[in-house]
Structure 1
């Protein structure tokens, strides 16, 4: 569904906004865009702290243009974020709705991932106001949008870190296994692995547990060729939550089979921090403005997405289905060309 602006709505007066779930670089840029666009439409914006916890506990502040004047470059979120198990209960949902009613909120904008959107759907079951989602997660695993806010920055952050790891690996002819975030999605792993010229990428899209021993045997032979005979480093990137018993178990098993130490480096939360890159600042700004346009058009139960450089509206029920896949061209390139080339070179 395409997004068009309608300025005829004079009913909406108060907009609530919160950030929920894992933080993502660009969330502040989205908050800024929501506030500026709302102010331009004569709406008042109420920000709730600590995600849905702040909504349940009525912890809020009024957000003006001055409050968001110099935040577009900041990582994290000025509204803070959190997980909220209480919102999974009917009692928690009703508390959140009561807060919205007490504060005369007409529309709620939530910046977060699929879990945050499920919370938004739950609230909509008991509340007649408008609900709009903005996809902010480094995992890029929300359906209906080409990219989510924070993904590009997370990829760049991981690339920068792994380039430094490669320097050490080259200096000592070492094997490094780098674990990347993504929860159950390989978007970060494949994009970073290819960008860093990793000898091997192991992710949900190209791994099946029954292939475990075959993968270890092949890698062990390739590593022996690279380290013992060609005096080269060997870099493997692996998705978190993938290998049975964890990435450390993978590194240990690989060390045992190959006879060469494989050192695990888990990048972890470094991928969620830092100043957002230009792409995330621009995407967040476009999505924040589009959220207010959607409210003006009296839309509800929608997520703002970007498809082919155009802003679109996506049903929240569709956005949380986990159908979005890593580009098959990336998977094919790694499996059929890049990984094979690395083997022949070694």
Structure 2
């Protein structure tokens, strides 16, 4: 039997990601289309605790599909990890007669959502919104494609100046535990090497790669470094390399939070719309404690338990091999 859902709230939590606004738009308008009263929670779980919950209509989400960030704002909330904070959040939901919750975020967001559902029986659906693409159950997460495109645009510009001055650039990208951005950006920009958290690369092996390029008259070299590489960030790696290999003028660029912002790509806008649409429809079917994701080209459900337990998955073996083959 379908649940009697009349009121649904949506929130964004954790790190922002391009496409979150497009997803909020899809959630709100899908709910309204189905006769549901829709609410937005400002500043994630902190907003639930502070009772910062507002009604939303179709016009509340006009002209936001192209915007980065999140109109609902986001925050990391330690108080929500406590029983007292979670109980207060639940009381605020009840005060608004909210029957179900759509949460957009990463593993920390889903951990909170799962515990909230288990403690208070709240119906909840998660939507993967993180540029790291490190949640099991979806081939792509919101913001991942846009973040890669941002890195590509930056590296293409850096390549111009690297070629002009015979320079070696170490470019650090986000990915504390996941090398997804670094790996794909490396392929797309034709970098000479990539350093990933999941794969050990010795300084000696890196220097051999760079020496091979120098011997074959490469006018510049680009090394993409994921911030979570075991031997340190771009500055650390650059220092170690420069001590033993000084063929090029060595420079370091940290792209940082530049990767989180900007207008979402067409892929992220469509993915966000599909996942937002699916999340509401799954709640109306009776689903709860599930994540909606994209597998192949189909929307699929993954339990929050499974998405969190297996959230680190292997990088594509063909891409890993390509980084060596295509960089000669």
Q: TM-score range by the shorter chain?
A: over 0.9
Matching of residue 98 in structure 1 with residue 91 in structure 2: yes
Tell me which residue corresponds to 2:207. Answer: 220
Partners of 1:221 and 1:131 in 2: CA distance: 51
- Write the distance in 2 (CA, Å) between the matches of 1:233 and 1:332: 22
1:306 maps onto 2:298 in alignment: no
Pair 1:12-2:1 in alignment: no
Structure 2 SS opposite 1:250 = helix
What do residues 231-280 of structure 1 show as CA deviations (whole Å, max 9, x unaligned)?
A: 51011001112143433111111111113442211111111100001000
Aligned residues: 326
CA distance 1:224–1:324, shift in 2 (3 Å): closer
Paired residues of 2:6 and 2:99 also in contact (CA < 8 A): yes
CA distance in 2 between counterparts of 1:135 and 1:169 reads 36
Partners in 2 of 1:333 and 1:116 — Cα distance? 34
Secondary structure of the residue aligned to 2:40 is strand
Q: Quick check: 2:197–2:228 contact (8 Å CA) kept in 1?
A: no
Alignment partner of 1:320 out of 308, 311, 326: 308
Aligned match of 2:319 in 330, 333, 344?
A: 330
Corresponding residue for 1:264? 252
Cα pair distance change 1:284/1:229, threshold 3 Å = closer
CA deviation digits over 1:13-69, x for unaligned, max 9? 110100001100000000000011000111111101111110111112111100101
Q: Relative to structure 1, is the Cα distance of residues 231 and 185 closer, same or farther in structure 2, using a 3 angstrom cutoff?
A: closer
Report whether the alignment pairs 1:292 with 2:280: yes
| Mapping 1:1-346, distance limit 5 Å | 9=2, 11-207=4-200, 215-224=202-211, 226-227=213-214, 230=217, 232-259=219-246, 260-321=248-309, 322-335=311-324, 337-339=325-327, 342=328
1:305 is displaced (CA, Å) by 0.8
Task: Rate the CA distance shift 1:236–1:57 in 2: closer, same or farther, 3 A.
Answer: same
Please say if residues 30 and 284 of structure 1, whose CA atoms lie closer than 8 Å, have aligned partners that are also in contact. yes
Question: Alpha carbon RMSD of aligned pairs, Å?
Answer: 1.6
**Counterpart-to-counterpart distance in 2, 1:242 and 1:10:** 47
TM-score (normalizing by structure 2): 0.95
Cα distance in 2, alignment partners of residues 11 and 314 from structure 1: 23
Contact 1:97–1:126 (8 Å) recurs in 2? no
| Unaligned runs of at least 5 residues, structure 1 | 1-7
Structure 2 gaps of 5+ residues are none
Paired residue secondary structure (1:320):
helix
Question: 110-119 vs 239-248, which deviates more?
Answer: 239-248
Taking a change above 3 Å as real, the CA distance of residues 225 and 304 of structure 1, as seen in their structure-2 partners, is: closer
